Amino acid sequence: MKQKLLLLAAVFFGVMAFMLTFQQINQEKKKIQAATTEVAVIQLVKDIAENEPITEDAIRGAKIKMYASQLSSSRHIPYSQKSLIINRKAQLSIQRGKILQWNDLQNAVSGG
């Protein structure tokens, strides 16, 4: 009888430990999600070959979550700056679905 009681107590405390750990993990997830902000970026909707210009129909807006500390150092191109990338050529071939980054594009050459 005593062994059954010990086994029952061990199972009970195991279940309690699981529940408390699960609750703690969910609280930590919520803290992390609260620290992020949603950012509108540019995503490719078709494959782009090397040296091919980026066209309006090749891109769309997409939202991603980022930490505020990452915003200033991010290489992602904000959707608000899409006019700066239209007709810019791709540095290398870029696959459909990729979030466009500044280093995916060739340097702009200003005429003068």
Q: Where in the sequence is the domain holding 96, given as residue range(s)? A: 36-104
Determine the Cα–Cα distance for residues 31 and 36; give it in Å rounded to an integer.
9
- CA neighbor of 42 nearest in space, from 84, 2, 101, 105: 101
Determine the Cα–Cα distance for residues 65 and 18; give it in Å rounded to an integer.
30
Tens of pLDDT, residue by residue over 31-57, are: 887 778 889 999 999 999 999 999 999
46 secondary structure, DSSP code: S
Is 19 found in the same domain as 74? no
> Read out DSSP for 53-107?
BP-GGGEEEEEEEEEHHHHTT--BPBGGGGGGTTTPBBSS-B-TTPBPBGGGBPP
Confirm whether 96 is domain-assigned. Answer: yes
pTM to 2 decimal places:
0.64
Residue partners of 65: CB distance under 8 A and separation at least 6: 33, 36, 37, 38, 39
Tally of domains in the chain: 2
Tens of pLDDT, residue by residue over 67-82, are: 877 777 788 899 999 9
Is 41 found in the same domain as 28? no
State yes or no: pLDDT of 108 exceeds 80. no
Q: Are the C-beta atoms of 81 and 101 separated by less than 8 Å?
A: no
Confirm whether 60 is domain-assigned. Answer: yes
Tens of pLDDT, residue by residue over 86-103, are: 999 999 999 999 999 999
Is 54 found in the same domain as 66? yes
Is 56 found in the same domain as 1? no
Is 26 found in the same domain as 73? no
Is 97 found in the same domain as 46? yes
Confirm whether 5 is domain-assigned. Answer: yes
